[in-house]
């Protein structure tokens, strides 16, 4: 694990105790709407404290990964309390240990703000998603408003230092750079929270 990833891992370990309180922006109805799109064998990248876990359709076979042991412990506790059958693994999104084309659906919510090399992480998602599979990303991104976008750039070092999250990531552009094929992008309440649906693209077909 590289130095930057290790730093962010330590920050998320530190914030695990109060992360659910920080995650107030994501309403349960939004989670239900987005996570309900998942089908089949599912990978959730950056499962965090497991707040999405109750919203997967019951027929889904869910695996969640996170690089923070403290976050994973919270997720395991939540899964036990809710009697959810999920597999939770400590793993770096930039270097996944799964074989190619393993999952029907790959999900990430508010994750690619903290992955040190976001394009590399998205390339890994592309690799582990089956041909014809779907990638569901719900991400906060840099504002398209010039003034607010500039303000986010100014404040980003503070956010990165405190919690390990970049508030000015251009995730829609990063999805394209990774080779994923974007199906559609939709604002979720504001232009700084976007639902991105993508697929591995034709070049990933067997």
CATH of the domain at 120: 3.40.50.150
Does some domain include residue 206? no
Does some domain include residue 132? yes
Q: What is the spatial distance between Cα 157 and Cα 130, in angstroms, rounded to a whole number?
A: 36
Does some domain include residue 121? yes
Q: What is the mean pLDDT of residues 116-137?
A: 96
* Beta-strand pair 41-45/61-66: parallel
Tens-place pLDDT, residues 80-91: 999 999 999 999
Q: For residue 196, which phi and psi values (nearest 5 degrees)? A: -120, 120
Question: Does position 20 have pLDDT exceeding 50, yes or no?
Answer: no
Which secondary structure element, helix H or strand E, spans residue 137, and what is its range? Answer: strand 129-140
Q: What is the spatial distance between Cα 47 and Cα 76, in angstroms, rounded to a whole number?
A: 10
> Order of strands across the sheet with 103-109?
86-90, 61-66, 41-45, 103-109, 129-140, 193-199, 181-187
Q: What is the mean pLDDT of residues 103-124?
A: 93
Does some domain include residue 39? yes
What pLDDT score does 2 carry? 64
Does some domain include residue 85? yes
Does some domain include residue 205? no
Structural domain containing residue 150: 3-199
Q: What is the mean pLDDT of residues 68-74?
A: 89
User: Distances from the Cα of 79 to the Cαs of 40, 50, 86, 173, 204, in angstroms?
Assistant: 19, 7, 7, 34, 33
Does some domain include residue 29? yes
Portion of the chain with pLDDT greater than 90, in percent: 57
Does some domain include residue 204? no
Q: pTM for this one?
A: 0.84
Q: What is the spatial distance between Cα 132 and Cα 151, in angstroms, rounded to a whole number?
A: 39
Question: Structural domain tally of the chain?
Answer: 1
Which secondary structure element, helix H or strand E, spans residue 181, and what is its range? Answer: strand 181-187
Q: What angle do CA 110, 49, 193 make, to 5 degrees?
A: 15
């Amino acid at each position: 694990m590289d130095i930057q990833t290790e730093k962010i891992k330590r920050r998320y370990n530190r914030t695990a105790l109060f992360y659910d309180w920080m995650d107030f922006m994501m309403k349960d109805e939004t989670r239900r709407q987005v996570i309900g799109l998942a089908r089949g064998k599912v990978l959730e990248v950056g499962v965090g404290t497991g707040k999405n876990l109750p919203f997967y359709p019951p027929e889904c076979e869910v695996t969640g990964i996170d690089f923070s042991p403290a976050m994973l412990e919270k997720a395991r506790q939540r899964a036990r309390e809710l009697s959810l059958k999920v597999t939770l693994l400590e793993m770096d999104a930039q270097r996944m240990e799964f074989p190619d084309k393993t999952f029907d659906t790959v999900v990430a919510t508010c994750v690619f703000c903290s992955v040190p090399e976001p394009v590399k992480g998205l390339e890994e998602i592309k690799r582990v998603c089956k041909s014809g599979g779907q990638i569901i990303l719900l991400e906060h991104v840099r504002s398209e408003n010039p003034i607010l976008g500039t303000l986010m750039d100014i404040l980003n070092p503070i956010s990165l230092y405190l919690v390990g999250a970049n508030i000015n990531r251009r995730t829609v552009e990063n999805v394209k750079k990774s080779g994923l094929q974007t199906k559609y992008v939709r604002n979720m309440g504001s232009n700084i929270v976007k639902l991105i649906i993508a697929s591995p693209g034709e070049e990933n077909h067997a």
